Amino acid sequence: MKKFYYYFILIPIILVFTIYGLIAQNDDHRKDLIGVKYSIKKNTTIISILKKAGIKQNIRDSIILQFEKTLNLKQCMANEEIYVFTNSDMNFRQLEYRKNIVDIYIVEYDGNSFNMFKKPNEKKIHTAYISGRIKTNLYETLISLGEGPELVKNFSYIFAKEIDCNSNRSKNDEFEILVEKIFINDKLYTYGKILYASYETDKRLYEGFYYKDDDFSGYFDMDGNSLNEKIIKAPMAFYSRISSGFTQKRLHPVLKIYLPHKAIDYAAPRGTPVYAAADGIIKHKFLDRYGGRVLFIEHDDGYETEYMHLQSYSKNSQPGKFVKQGDIIGYVGNSGSSTGYHLHFAVKHNNVYINPRRMHFESEIVLNEDQINTYCNYREIIYSLLFATKSFIEFPTYCSKKRYLFEYANIIGKSPNL
Ligand SMILES: [Zn+2]
């Protein structure tokens, strides 16, 4: 039955793909102009670029005057881009100043007057299919496929309740990801939601589906059990091994005396991003003789997490600030009494240290029978979408996800209740 309706999905996708191609080519407002791209390097200015482009001084002055109405041109940064457009007689017509993907400014000249405006941003959402086999670890494998660290984090969090796919033991495991990519002005701006993820070890296949209802959202397994984890056991992008476990008595490697070690030490390369293990408020941040750069977060229900030996803190890590699970709070270091790069991670419950590896939380979201039926319906739509996207690797979506999925639901004759 599944195979049958996949064909009904493929035909509209081919149509959408073709229409997109036609629209993309319809950028003809500059078709009679000649454009040259310049990159701003250290010590280059817009004026020096305009001189290089052979623009006369009076025109240069007028362009700068236009820009200075809105921008401080002394703040030009390396890696920004400038495009200069001239007509066939080499007269200046347009300058496009790309500060970044989102902030693009244009100065136009029609031979009589100048006009400056900010280019409206064109936002597109693509649904992309990514798959692979882990060579060294998940982080390096996804980065080598051209993906960003944010995707690694979002993916590993889906299965954090059951497996550590961010550890070195994940070699040869396979993964699949169906993720939205948000493009602004045709460049990848950020990731949207991971709609589906699978992770296969030699023992088991794990699957996670993103599902949203009126009062909850999150990841669920095949049967509708919530995969959301209250506190993440290994809150970091990647770790190579557990260098010290949770114990009442341990010979301290620096102090050479027996002390309890009521935390987990995760060995990881210097600079590995460290995440907030759960939503909470940053309670303290200080430099300690033993703990080095330390950070504490207070969570609800009497929980607290502690992070030590950091190399540095992230920009937003300020005491009193609310952080969401997965926000970067700092980077792995070797500060304080430490013999190698690692994260010392501790969890307290009602002021008593507990073993982070033994934490177990009941699911906060439990679907009732009706909700499970709706969920299963939705899950089938995601499977269809997965199959379709696999065939094309990536394709654009013009409508919102809700509508998009609704259309797919119509095609396969199911109501998604979105
Ligand atoms: Zn430790």
**pLDDT tens, position by position, 237-273:** 888 899 989 988 777 777 777 888 999 999 999 999 9
pLDDT at 392: 59
pLDDT at 197: 96
Shortest CA distance to 116 belongs to which of 103, 104, 127, 107? 107
Give the mean model confidence (pLDDT) for residues 207-236.
Answer: 91
Q: How far is the CA of 252 from the centre of ligand 1 (A)?
A: 9
For 74-84, write each residue's pLDDT tens digit.
767 777 888 99
Structure confidence at residue 395 as a pLDDT band (50, 70, 90):
very low
Tokens of 331: 């980077």
Q: How far is the CA of 309 from the centre of ligand 1 (A)?
A: 9
Q: How far, in Å, CA of 135 to CA of 186, rounded?
A: 31
Q: Does residue 298 or residue 229 have the better pLDDT?
A: 298
Tokens of 115: 């006009």
For 148-160, write each residue's pLDDT tens digit.
988 998 998 899 8
Q: How far is the CA of 153 from the centre of ligand 1 (A)?
A: 23
Q: How far is the CA of 255 from the centre of ligand 1 (A)?
A: 13
Q: How far is the CA of 251 from the centre of ligand 1 (A)?
A: 12
Separation of CA 125 from chain center: 14
Q: Roughly how many angstroms between the first and final C-alpha of the chain, as a whole number? A: 23
Shortest CA distance to 302 belongs to which of 348, 262, 263, 346? 348
Whether 286 and 277 have beta carbons less than 8 Å apart is answered as no
Q: How far is the CA of 290 from the centre of ligand 1 (A)?
A: 10
Q: How far is the CA of 285 from the centre of ligand 1 (A)?
A: 17
For 187-211, write each residue's pLDDT tens digit.
888 999 999 999 998 889 999 999 9
Q: How far is the CA of 150 from the centre of ligand 1 (A)?
A: 26
Q: How far is the CA of 253 from the centre of ligand 1 (A)?
A: 10
Q: How far, in Å, CA of 220 to CA of 180, rounded?
A: 18
C-alpha distance from residue 328 to each of 108, 135, 267, 296 (Å): 41, 25, 18, 13
Which residues neighbour 81 within 8 Å (Cβ) at sequence distance 6 or greater?
37, 38, 39, 40, 97, 98
Q: How far is the CA of 144 from the centre of ligand 1 (A)?
A: 31
State which amino acid sits at residue 41.
K
Q: How far is the CA of 372 from the centre of ligand 1 (A)?
A: 42
Q: How far is the CA of 239 from the centre of ligand 1 (A)?
A: 14
Domains defined along the chain, listed by start: 1-29+122-228+364-418 (3.10.450.350), 32-118 (3.10.450.350), 241-358 (2.70.70.10)
For 353-362, write each residue's pLDDT tens digit.
999 999 988 8
Q: How far is the CA of 265 from the centre of ligand 1 (A)?
A: 5
Q: How far is the CA of 279 from the centre of ligand 1 (A)?
A: 23
94 by Cβ neighbours in 10 Å (0-12 / 13-18 / 19+) ranks as buried
State which amino acid sits at residue 391.
S
What is the 3-class SS of the chain, one letter each residue? CHHHHHHHHHHHHHHHHHHHHHHHHCCCCCCCCEEEEEECCCCCCHHHHHHHCCCCHHHHHHHHHHHHCCCCHHHCCCCCEEEEEECCCCCEEEEEEECCCCCEEEEEECCCCEEEEECCCCEEEEEEEEEEECCCCHHHHHHHCCCCHHHHHHHHHHCCCCCCCCEHHHCCCEEEEEEEEEEECCEEEEEEEEEEEEEECCCCEEEEEEEECCCCEEEECCCCCECCCCCCCCCECCECEEEECCEEEEECCCCCCEEEECCEEEECCCCCEEECCCCEEEEEEEEECCCEEEEEEECCCCEEEEEEEEEEECCCCCCCCEECCCCEEEEEECCCCCCCCEEEEEEEECCEEECHHHCCCCCCCCCCHHHHHHHHHHHHHHHHHHHHHHHHCEEEECCCHHHHHHHHHHHCCCCCCC
Q: What percent of the chain has pLDDT over 70?
A: 86
Q: How far is the CA of 68 from the centre of ligand 1 (A)?
A: 54
